[in-house]
Chain A
Amino acid sequence: IPRVPGTHSASPCVLAASRELSSGAAVLSCLRAVHGLRVRLCPLGSSDYIVSTRLAVERLLQSELQSPRNRSRLSQRLQRLQGAFQRICVIVETDRVRPGETSRVFQRTQHYDGVLSALIQAGIRILFSSCQEETAALLKELALLEHRKDAAIQVPTEPEGHWRDLLSFYLSIPNLSYGAALNLCHAFGSIAAVANSSVAALAAGARLSRAQAEELHRFLRHDCDPELLP
């Protein structure tokens, strides 16, 4: 089917976690003002940014990777993401030097190299950024790349009225990303339509991988054991 020119020209949309408002304000304003992306703040539980229907981006400070202190928190976060997303990218950002602070010398630790090795082995992509502005540029590149691969977020991201309740219902399903929940809202008229869909229809409608669609299908049809109910 030949695409009507212009249908894809709208700038890509990026979902950002509301908490980034405090920790990454320059990233957000840069995405909007310099790169002209549509940025929507959402209460994303797990990831910092959602760039396409399948790609989540975590923004980590270099200092967070330096010491073993953050290890368990980091691995929990990334494991959760792997349940919900097909692709994960980590942007390692150099810490900001605060006024009056002389530039800290970055001491590369064994732990840091170990974390990088583990990320690579887990198939997580890693990008390095020297500041928030550069992080924004990288996010834009990722969004454009995903847009070219036809995985861009193309549904409206502002839920209203009944949509809001539906979205909240879908978001409570384990391992379902915010993007997938939005897709479910727009691809299916009602929860009943979702519940009666085949695995293939779920995968196509919500743009999920086969395994994720199977998990959703199982969840919706799961016969609850009254014994296990809390």
Chain B
Amino acid sequence: PVTAGAIVVPYGHVIGNEKWRGSEVAQRLQGKVRLIFEDGLGLVDFHLSNKTCILFISEADLVAGDEFKRRLVKFRNASSLRGIVIVEKTQISDQYYSGVQKLVVLELGMVLLPVANQGEASQLIIQLVSFCVREQSRDRGSNPFLGRQRAPPPEPAVLQALQRIPAVGRTKALLLLQRFGSIHRLCNASSEELEQVVGQTVAQQIYTF
């Protein structure tokens, strides 16, 4: 049973599955984030926010067989949460990694992040939590990978585009824009109208382009 959306994560907290109590991950998280343990989280190991949760796959899970795959598929089918799968990728479990990646990322469309051990997992969780907090506080501008800048005025780009027409250089492009204003109007200009701006030959070339 997956409790989708039923878990409410207080701001800046992490809710951990009871089974992680006393683990290395939990010990390292303590003090850095406010960690609360709860019973009955089902398939989920940690809830980072109301929308995001973590499923942890250990080295032992990978080696033991396909049980973890059933767990992931079950989660994917039952839950609307954004699931981040953290997998313990060690020298022993390395050989299984590409298979897991294919399943998780390409087939299930979830996020997969490899770590070498539980220590790295806790560092990663701390970073993920801080981003979840920022997301909740709508401070999205702080994400360097989200496009946010307003588009620059298109005039220089329009001028650039016109210069890609054969026989049109900077000067003619400027003249054409002053006369017609937009690419749309230039496209619908007759060859006579074009001739008023540029010579007959060039007008013909623009017209046929």
B131 touches A117 (CB 8 A): yes
Q: Tell me the complex Cα distance, A125–B156, Å.
A: 33
> Contact at A172–B160, with CB atoms within 8 Å?
yes
Residue of A whose beta carbon sits closest to that of B189: A192
Interface residues of chain A: helix, strand, loop or mixed (majority): helix
Whether B209 contacts A191 by the Cβ 8 Å rule is yes
B153 to A, closest residue via Cβ: A228
Stretch at the interface among A11-19, A20-28, A34-42, A219-227: A219-227
Q: What interface size band does chain B fall in?
A: 35 or more
B161 lies within 8 A of A120 (CB) = no
**Interface residues of A, CB < 8 Å — how many?**
56
Among A79, A108, A113, chain B packs the most CB atoms within 10 A around the CB of A113
- CB of A195 closer than 8 Å to a CB of B: yes
Whether B128 and A120, one on each chain, are in contact in the complex, defined by CB atoms closer than 8 angstroms, is yes
Chain B CB within 10 A, most for which of A126, A165, A215, A229: A229
Q: A195-B183, A220-B183 are in contact. Are A110 and B155 (CB under 8 A)?
A: no
- Is there an interface contact between A174 and B101, defined as CB atoms closer than 8 Å? no
Instruction: Determine if B114 and A128 form an interchain contact, defined as CB atoms under 8 angstroms apart.
Output: yes
Query: In whole Å, how far is B29's beta carbon from the nearest beta carbon of chain A?
Result: 13
CB neighbours of A74 from chain B (8 A):
144-145
How far, in whole Å, are A121 and B131 apart by their CA atoms in the complex?
7
Cross-chain contact A116 with B182 (CB below 8 angstroms)? no
The residues of B that contact A118 with a CB separation of less than 8 Å are 131, 143-145
The distance in angstroms between the C-alpha atoms of A218 and B135, with both chains bound, is 31
Query: Is the Cβ of B151 less than 8 Å from the Cβ of A174?
Result: yes
User: Hey, which chain B residues are within 8 Å of A128, CB to CB?
Assistant: 97, 101, 112, 114
A71–B144 contact, CB under 8 A? yes
Given A173-B157, A224-B155, A191 contacting B130 (CB threshold 8 A)? no
From B115, B154, B163, B174, give the contact of A222 (CB < 8 A).
B154
Q: Is B165 an interface residue (CB 8 A)?
A: yes
Assuming the contacts A75-B145, A118-B143, A222-B182, asked whether A165 and B164 have C-beta atoms less than 8 A apart, the reply is yes
> Is the beta-carbon distance between A122 and B155 smaller than 8 angstroms?
no
Contact with B along A168-179 (1 / 0, CB 8 A): 110111100000
Q: Who on chain B is nearest to A172 by CB?
A: B161
Question: Which B residue sits closest to A145, measured CB to CB?
Answer: B106
When C-beta atoms are compared, the residue in chain A nearest to B166 turns out to be A165
Contact A108 B166 (CB under 8 A): no
Q: Which of these, B113, B146, B182, contacts A220 with CB under 8 Å?
A: B182
Which one, B8-16, B72-80, B116-124, B195-203, is touching chain A? B116-124
Most buried by B among A72, A171, A173: A173
B181 adjacent to A224 (CB under 8 Å): yes
Name A residues whose Cβ lies closer than 8 Å to a Cβ of B: 71-72, 74-75, 78-79, 82-83, 106, 108, 110, 113-114, 116-122, 124-128, 134, 137, 141-142, 145, 165-166, 168-169, 171-174, 190-192, 195-196, 215, 218-226, 228-230
What are the 5 tightest A-B residue pairs by CB atom distance, in nearest-first order? A75-B144, A113-B127, A122-B145, A192-B187, A195-B187
Q: A118-B143, A127-B105, A168-B164 are in contact. List 7 more A-B contacts (CB 8 A).
A: A108-B116, A114-B131, A116-B113, A172-B164, A196-B184, A219-B183, A229-B174
Interface residues of B (CB under 8 A from A): 84, 97-98, 101-102, 105-106, 111-116, 120, 123-124, 126-128, 130-131, 135, 143-149, 151, 153-161, 163-166, 174, 177-178, 181-184, 187-188, 209
